[in-house]
């Protein structure tokens, strides 16, 4: 029955948004909403005003690989990551309880609301998310990242001695995260691996790198 209702909604929304296949951060967002993690969502999302099913519903969202209802929302509005071939979608999280997450459901306006978790393991802090997917897929430096992002240091601290520079990276492998620093192994176009610490985010949470998901 749920599949039938979902199909009917999509048919009724054929004037809805047909979108590019994937959503992925490609540049630094210097005015981000204060987020601390991500939550993997399903195809039907109910956004509440409070973490309580008796509270007012702010938005009901239904989506598949081609459409989003309501049609005024795009996948780039909803998701921080969307991979069409894996049917994999993540929303940014601004707060969390045992049973609920507060998410950004419109990236263009910063609008937030609460959705009930259907699986607690679908939530990850940014550090856990980067640790999991950065190690699996490697990392990419986002456009407009400060030049200092390319500097590699011997220790994870401000004022540390610079030991190398990232030039034309073919691969950036994550080893581990320590606070706002990452220990990475980089293979530049000269194919010579080099290892050192880089600053992956600012003190106020602006991210300069992102896992190279695929």
Domains of the chain: which residue ranges? 2-118, 126-211
Distance, CA of 103 to CA of 114 (rounded, Å) = 6
Tell me, rounded to whole angstroms, the distance of Cα 176 from its chain centroid.
18
CB 150 within 8 A of CB 141: yes
Question: pTM here?
Answer: 0.85
Summarize pLDDT for 180-196 with one digit per residue, the tens: 999 999 999 888 899 99
Question: pLDDT-based confidence at 33, cuts 50/70/90?
Answer: low
Show Cβ contacts of residue 52 under 8 Å, excluding neighbours closer than 6 positions.
Answer: 114
CA dihedral 22, 27, 60, 214 (to 10 degrees): 30
Q: What's the chain's average pLDDT?
A: 89
Summarize pLDDT for 34-57 with one digit per residue, the tens: 899 999 999 999 999 999 999 999
The pLDDT of residue 34 is 82
DSSP label of 155 = S
Higher pLDDT, 156 or 31: 156
């Amino acid at each position: 029955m749920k599949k039938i209702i979902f199909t009917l909604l999509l048919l009724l929304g054929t004037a809805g948004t047909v979108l590019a296949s994937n959503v992925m951060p490609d540049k630094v967002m210097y005015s981000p909403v204060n987020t601390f993690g991500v939550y993997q969502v399903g195809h039907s999302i109910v956004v509440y005003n409070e973490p309580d099913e008796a509270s007012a519903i702010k938005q009901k969202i239904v989506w598949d690989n081609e459409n989003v209802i309501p049609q005024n929302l795009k996948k780039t509005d909803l998701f921080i990551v969307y991979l069409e071939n894996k049917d994999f979608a993540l929303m940014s999280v601004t707060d969390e309880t045992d049973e609920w997450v507060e998410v950004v459901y419109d990236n263009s306006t910063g609008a937030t609301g609460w959705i009930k978790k259907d699986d607690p393991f679908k939530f990850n802090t940014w550090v856990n998310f980067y640790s999991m997917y950065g190690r699996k897929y490697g990392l990419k430096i986002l456009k407009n990242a400060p030049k200092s992002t390319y500097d590699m240091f011997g220790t994870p601290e401000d004022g540390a001695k610079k030991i190398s520079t990232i030039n034309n990276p073919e691969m950036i492998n994550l080893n581990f995260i320590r606070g706002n620093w990452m220990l990475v192994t980089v293979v530049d176009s000269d194919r010579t691996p080099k290892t050192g610490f880089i600053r992956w985010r600012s003190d106020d949470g602006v991210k300069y790198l992102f896992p190279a998901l695929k």
